[in-house]
Amino acid sequence: MPHERHSSLREGLVAGLLGALLVAIWYTVVDLGRGEMFYTANVLGQVFAQADTMPSVRTVNSSAVVQYSLLHFGSFIVFGIVLAALTHLATRNPSLRMGVWLGLVIGFMCWLGMSYTLYRATDQRFPWWTTLIGSVLGFGAVGLYLWRSHPGLRSRQDRPLGAEVKSPPHPPGRQAG
C-alpha cells in the first residue's frame, strides 16, 4: 500500500488502541489471578491521576480506576499517533528510519524509569513487574502494528542504516584550498 494512502491519525489511533487494549487485558488477567479485580488500575489511578504516593490497596477507588483508564488510553493513542507520524516520515526519507526505533525505545525507557521510581516512592505498592510486562506488550503491539503496516521500513537494503546521509565534501573545520 503506498504511503500516500496511510493516515498518521488513523494508524496512530489504531496502533494506540491496540497497545492500550492489550495492556488492559494483561492487567485484568493479572488482577483476576490475584483475586483482586481492578487492583492494578486502582493503584495506578491513585498514583498517576490523584498524585497519591501511598495508594490504598485494600479498597478500590472507582474514580481512580476511571481516571487511570482515561489517562491510559489517551497516552497510548497520543504515543501511537506520534510514532505513526514518525513512521510516515521514515517511509518517505529512509535516513529517518532510526527515528522510529528511537521513538519506540525512548518512550519505553522513559516509562520504565518512571515506573521504577514510582515503585520505590510508593513503598513498593506500585505494581512494578505487572507494569513492566504490560509495557513490553503495549509498546510491542504499537511497534509491531506499524512495522507490519509499512513493509518499506523492513525491506532489506544494500546499505546499512544511516548510509543515506551524504558526507561533507571536506572534513569539518578545514577550509579547502
Cβ–Cβ < 8 Å for 149, 11: yes
pLDDT reported for residue 162: 55
Condensed to tens digits (0 to 9), the pLDDT of residues 7-17 reads 889 999 999 99
Instruction: Report how far residue 30's alpha carbon sits from residue 39's, in angstroms, rounded to the nearest whole number.
Output: 9
Low-confidence stretches of the chain (pLDDT < 70) are: 1-6, 153-177
**What is the structure's pLDDT at 96?**
77
Q: Tell me the longest C-alpha to C-alpha distance in the chain.
A: 77
Q: Are 55 and 125 in contact (CB under 8 A)?
A: yes
Question: pLDDT at position 2, please?
Answer: 46
pLDDT by residue (tens digit) across 124-145? 777 788 888 998 999 889 989 9
- Write down the pTM of the prediction: 0.76
Q: How far apart are CA 67 and CA 167, in angstroms?
A: 50
Q: How far is CA 66 from CA 39, 71, 79, 84, 96, in A?
A: 13, 9, 20, 27, 38
Yes or no: say if 162 and 98 are a contact pair by the CB < 8 Å rule: yes
- Give the other-Cβ count within 10 Å of 176's Cβ: 6
Look up residue 15 and give its amino acid: A
